[in-house]
Chains A and B, each alone.
Chain A
Amino acid sequence: MTIALIDTGCANIASVRFALDRAGLDHVVVTEPAGAADCDRIILPGVGAAGPAMERLKARGWAETLPQDGRPLMGICLGMQLLFEHSAEGDVDGLGLLPGRVERLPRPDGLVWPHMGWNALEGFAVGEPLLTGISAGSHAYFVHGYYVPAGRVTQAQCDYGVPVSAIVRQGQVSGCQFHPERSGAVGARILSNFASIKA
Chain B
Amino acid sequence: MPDPIFEARNISKRFGPVRALNEVSIAIGAGELHSIIGENGAGKSTLMNIFCGRLRPDTGALLIDRQPVHFSSPKQAAAAGIAIAPQEINLVPALSVAENIMLGAQIGARICGGAVIDWKATRAEAIRHLHEVDDQIDPASRVGDLSKAQQQLVQIARAAATDARILILDEPTATLTHRETARLFDYIRSFKARGHSIFYISHRLDEVKALSDRITVLRDGALAGTLDPATATREEMVTLMAGRPPSAMRQEPRRIPGDAPVVLKVTGLTRPGEFQDLSFSLRKGEILGVSGLIGSGRTEMAKCLFGLTRATAGEIEYFGQKTRFTSPLQAIQAGLIYLPEERKQEGIFPLLSIVENAAMPSMARFRGLLAMRNREMLAEVMDYIALLKTRIGSPRDAITTLSGGNQQKVIIARWLMRDAKVLIMDEPTRGIDVNAKFEIQAVLRRLTEERGLSIILISSEMEEVLDVADRILVMHEGRARGIVDAAGESQESLLKLAMT
Tell whether A and B belong to one assembly. Answer: no
Residues of B within 8 A of A (CB): none
